[in-house]
A and B are shown apart, each in its own frame.
Chain A
C-alpha cells in the first residue's frame, strides 16, 4: 500500500515514467484526460478565488467565521489540486495498461460539500443571522 502510494506520487513529478509500461493509447484519449485534469485545476483555482473573496467582501461577518470559511475553501482548493494530478496519473496509467478507468468518490464528496455550503448560506440568509 505504502509502496503503491509513493510510486504514484513519484509519477506526479515524473509522468514521463508512465511510458515504461503498457502501450501508448490514442492521443485523443490522453488529451481528453488532460482537459479533465485542467477542469479540476480550474475548480481548485475557483476555490482559491472564493477563499480570497470571502475574506475581502464578507466584512460584515465576524473575523472568526470569515477566516474559518476562507480556510475551508483554501483547503478544498489544495485537495482538488492534488487530486487533479493524482487522478490524471491514474487514468493515464489505466489507459496504457488497458484497464478500466479508476472509479472515484471525490466528485460526490465535492458535490455534497457544495450542497451543504449552499444550504448553510440559505439558512443564514433566511434566518437573518449574518452580521446582526
Chain B
C-alpha cells in the first residue's frame, strides 16, 4: 500500500486521506435532514388543522428549508476543491437566518 487513495490521474491533487471534505458535506446533509423534521411537523399542523396562520407558517418553514438546502448545496460545491476555503457569509448568516425563521414558524404554531 502506498499512501492514501488516489483518485483520477497523476495530475489530480491527492485528496485528504482523512476524508475531511466528505465528512463535512455529509454534516451539511445531516443538517438539512434535521431541518426537514421541523418543516414536516409544521406541515402536519397545516394539514391536520388548517388555519390561515398555520398554512402561512408551514409555507415559511418550507421556504427556510429550501434556503438551507441551497446554502448547503453551494457549500458542498465549494468543498469539492482540493483545498476548500472557510465558510462565507452565505453559510454563517444564511444558516442562522434559516434556523431563526423556523423558530418563528414554531412560535406561530403556538398561537
**A18: chain B residues within 8 A (beta carbon):** 86
Least CB separation from B107: chain A residue: A74
If the complex has contacts A27-B85, A78-B100, are A46 and B34 also in contact, measured as CB distance less than 8 A? yes
Question: B-side binding surface: helix, strand, loop or mixed?
Answer: helix
**A77: chain B residues within 8 A (beta carbon):** 99, 102-103, 106
If the complex has contacts A31-B84, A52-B106, A52-B109, are A41 and B99 also in contact, measured as CB distance less than 8 A? yes
If the complex has contacts A44-B99, A45-B38, are A16 and B106 also in contact, measured as CB distance less than 8 A? no
Which of A30, A56, A71, A81 touches B96 (beta carbons < 8 Å)?
A81
| B24 lies within 8 A of A31 (CB) | yes
B interface residues, Cβ below 8 angstroms from A? 16, 18, 20-21, 23-24, 27-28, 30-31, 34-35, 37-38, 41-42, 44-45, 79, 83-89, 91-93, 95-96, 99-100, 102-103, 105-107, 109-110
A interface residues, Cβ below 8 angstroms from B? 12-16, 18, 27-28, 30-32, 34-35, 37-39, 41-42, 44-46, 48-49, 51-53, 55-56, 67, 70-71, 74, 77-78, 81-82, 84-85, 88-89, 92
